[in-house]
Amino acid sequence: MRTSLIFAVCLFLLSLCGCAGPFKQAQFHVNESFREPDFHLAGSRVGFITLSLAQRSEDRSIVTDLLGKILQEKRGEIEVLPLSQSLSLINRAGMAKEYNEAIKDYQTSGILDRKIITRLGELLNVHYLLHLTLIYFDQYTSTRLSILGLRAIDSQSAKMRLFVQILQTDQGIIVWEASGEGIVTREEFRAKPISFHEIARLACQRLAEKLP
């Protein structure tokens, strides 16, 4: 009798979890750390480049491509040259070695030589260069509610942190910098993991809204 009662209580609690529906929280905050006076991207052509080393290069490319697509969708006044096209043009022009050396220098000094910035601007025919660094990404799972050893509610979360810098090609200067950090959490019965694409899209939407 007691076993049947406990089983009935478990079923009741599980049904409540199911009726309540999934809980989801998503937030991503972008902090603008530097901006040149009167800088704005409206009416400009922006070339996406990478100044990061190979770590997480595939994930970084996904985020960069997403940002480019969202800018094209939401900010039609900005013309975007995607990262893949930028890199193809750089390689076709025979600048790959020079570009790679510039990346190494940037990693040690945080400075990109004005000559390479200007050359890239002329080659890509862009007013600005934008590079994005994927600083951190992680996914994790926890069980928020367990009844007699039976998992009732899973909590799935994903965190991401980014850095974005924009360079003006004719002067070789930094005109905008920002960092972003956010988390997506979902709680439900046997919750599915938060995908990289899901939190990356949220991050890019917030960045697109924040860009001048």
pLDDT tens, position by position, 73-130: 999 999 999 999 999 999 999 999 999 999 888 888 888 999 999 999 999 999 999 9
Query: Does a structural domain hold residue 34?
Result: yes
CATH number of the domain encompassing residue 55: 3.30.160
Q: Residues 152, 16: contact at Cβ < 8 Å?
A: no
Q: Does 1 map to a domain? A: no
pLDDT of residue 5: 47
Please indicate, yes or no, if residue 4 is contained in any of the structural domains: no
For residue 37, is it within any domain? yes
pLDDT tops 60 at residue 70: yes
In which band, very low, low, confident or very high, does the pLDDT at 144 lie, cut at 50, 70 and 90? Answer: low
The dihedrals phi and psi of 79, each to the nearest 5 degrees, come to: -90, 130
Q: How many domains does the chain have?
A: 1
Host domain of residue 34: 24-210
How many residues are recorded in the chain?
Answer: 212
> Does residue 143 belong to any structural domain of this protein?
yes
Q: Cite the DSSP H helix spans in 75-176.
A: 83-92, 96-109, 114-124
Task: Give the per-residue pLDDT at 68.
Answer: 94
Q: What is the mean pLDDT of residues 154-158?
A: 86
Q: What is the pLDDT of the chain when averaged over all its residues?
A: 85
pLDDT attached to residue 15: 52
pLDDT tens-digit map of 28-52: 999 999 999 999 999 999 999 988 7
The pLDDT assigned to 24 comes to 79
* pLDDT exceeds 90 at position 132: yes
Q: How much is the average pLDDT of 13-25? A: 58
CA distance 114 to 83: 20
Q: 103-109, long-range: CB within 8 Å, 24+ apart, which pairs?
A: 103/50, 103/51, 103/52, 103/53, 106/51, 107/51, 107/52, 107/53
Residue 7's pLDDT band (boundaries 50, 70, 90)? very low
Bridge partners, 143 (sequence order): 154
| pLDDT tops 60 at residue 17 | no
Alpha-carbon distance of 93 to 58, in angstroms, equals 24
Please, is 16 exposed, middle or buried when counting C-beta atoms within 10 Å of its C-beta (0-12, 13-18, 19+)?
exposed
